[in-house]
Amino acid sequence: MDNKLSGSTRRQTLLSGAAAAAGLFSPAMPAIAQTADNVKLALEFRIYGGNAPTFYAIESGIFKNLNLNVTADGSSGSGEAITRVASGAYDFALADASAVVEFAGRNPDSAPKILMPIFDVFPAVVLSLKRKPIKTLKDLVGAKLGTGTADAGSKILPALLALNKIDPKSVNRTTVDVKLRDTLLLKGDVDAVIAFDYTAIFNLMDNGLALDDITLLYYSNFGFNFCGNSLIASPQLIRDKPDLVKRMTLGIARSWVGAAKNREAAIDAVMKRDKLLNPKIERARMDWVIDRLIRTENVRKNGLGAIELKRVEDSIAVLKDGLELPSAPTAQGLLDLSFMPPLSERQMG
């Protein structure tokens, strides 16, 4: 599942190296003796193993050592998290990059910017069960497919099908509530669903299925190779409080690098927030995110957040068509990677 960098690495948008050379960061980043800045962070979804590293950073002192007093709140999804930042209600958010592109296309004057990609793999999949597997996109023709109304994977699907020369009208789509999606699949009411892997897989496993019972088709294997969850902030915050942005970006980088090395501590931290979570399932979910969606060949080589401009440009083009956006941001307009920490802080080899 590792993604390979396309083209010459000279063309990569690895601005953190320039930032480090300019002396904008030091590896230690010692805390200054002053009152900590209160920071509100909106999460991309509910509190669970998929965002456990945030709570690890709170519990372990990563944020505190950077003079940050971070409050992290769950949300209904990336759309809500982005709106919270755009409205000024929250300082930062973790949100799916595709959702940020859509928001920017419809609200160019208030769109947040991506400060650092975190997931190197876009996690949208066509998910089916091996008792009736969907093995290729062409298998969707005539199949019953459960799709949502607001998730990026469902919205992009027509463009992905067209990209692969499949008539979107040939797929029998049924709109499903995300809360009922997994149940409908288990009952056989739909043959497959569109979902984010790390959400649906472990919900199904929590209902007694084994990983071997599940078949996955990743969008990234069919022409849409974007990044996923990313750290975002508003242009106004970036302009008015660059030091805060720099420290928060470093804190988020350290949260994922640290959690990858201290996984039980990360799960313990998220369990403190919701004792009804199943620690085994949430540990498996977090491991999946770190090992399959983040630690790709690209990230092992170039560090957390490394991304090539052409990859972003190609993804924006697919999103513009698939989401029927009136306009779309440029890659340079979508990203502000100048606050990314040096490679030494982002290594996840």
Query: Could you read off the pLDDT of 236-283 as tens digits, one per residue?
Result: 999 999 999 999 999 999 999 999 999 999 999 999 999 999 999 999
Query: What's residue 1's pLDDT?
Result: 40
d(CA 129, CA 209): 10
In the prediction, which pLDDT does 189 show? 96
Single-letter amino acid code for the residue at 343: L
Tell me the pLDDT tens digit for each residue of 42-73: 999 999 999 999 999 999 999 999 999 999 99
In whole angstroms, give the CA distance from residue 230 to residue 252: 10
Q: At 29, is the pLDDT very low, low, confident or very high (cuts 50, 70, 90)?
A: very low
Confidence class for position 31, pLDDT limits 50, 70, 90? very low
Which one is predicted more confidently, 21 or 135? 135
* pLDDT-above-90 percentage for the chain: 82
* Number of helical H runs and strand E runs in the chain: 15, 12
pLDDT at 19: 39
The tokens for 212 are 């071997």
Residues of the chain with CATH 3.40.190.10: 9-120+227-346, 124-222
Number of Cα atoms under 13 Å in the Cβ half of residue 66 = 27
Q: What is the pLDDT of residue 155?
A: 85
| Backbone phi and psi for residue 202, each to the nearest 5 degrees, phi listed first | -85, -20
pLDDT at residue 149, rounded to an integer: 81
Instruction: Give Cβ neighbours of residue 208 (< 8 Å, ≥ 6 apart).
Output: none
Rounded to whole angstroms, the Cα distance separating 40 from 302 reads 29
List the alpha helices (DSSP H) in 107-241: 152-163, 178-187, 197-206, 235-240
Residue 16 has pLDDT above 70, yes or no: no
- Supply the mean pLDDT for the chain: 90
Q: How many CB atoms lie within 10 A of CB 240?
A: 10
Residue of higher predicted confidence among 158 and 2: 158
- pLDDT, position 324: 87
- 217-237 pLDDT, tens digit each: 999 999 999 999 999 999 999
pLDDT of residue 276: 96
Report how far apart, in Å, the C-alpha atoms of 99 and of each of 14, 31, 188, 208 are. 22, 34, 30, 31
Q: How far apart are the first and last CA of the chain?
A: 15
Bridge partners (DSSP) listed for residue 41: 72, 92
Can you identify the CATH homologous superfamily of domain 124-222?
Periplasmic binding protein-like II (3.40.190.10)
What was the pLDDT predicted at 27?
A: 42
Determine contact, residues 234/86, Cβ cutoff 8 Å. yes
Q: Crossing angle, helix 197-206 and helix 178-187, to 10 degrees? A: 60
Distance of CA 163 to the CA centre of its chain: 23
pLDDT for position 126 = 97
Residue 8 has pLDDT above 50, yes or no: no
What is the CATH code of the structural domain delimited by 9-120+227-346?
A: 3.40.190.10
Using pLDDT thresholds of 50, 70 and 90, give the confidence band for residue 100: very high
113-167 per-position pLDDT tens digit: 999 999 999 999 999 999 999 999 999 999 999 998 878 888 889 889 988 999 9
Q: What is the pLDDT of residue 348?
A: 94
Which residues, in sequence order, are CB contacts of 212 under 8 Å at separation 6+? 130
Q: pLDDT tens-digit profile of 167-201?
A: 999 999 999 988 899 999 999 999 999 999 999 99
Strands (E), the chain: 12-13, 37-42, 68-73, 92-96, 113-117, 124-129, 144-147, 172-175, 192-196, 214-218, 229-233, 307-308
Strand 37-42 versus strand 92-96 pairing type = parallel
Average pLDDT over residues 325-339: 96
Residue 321 confidence (pLDDT): 86
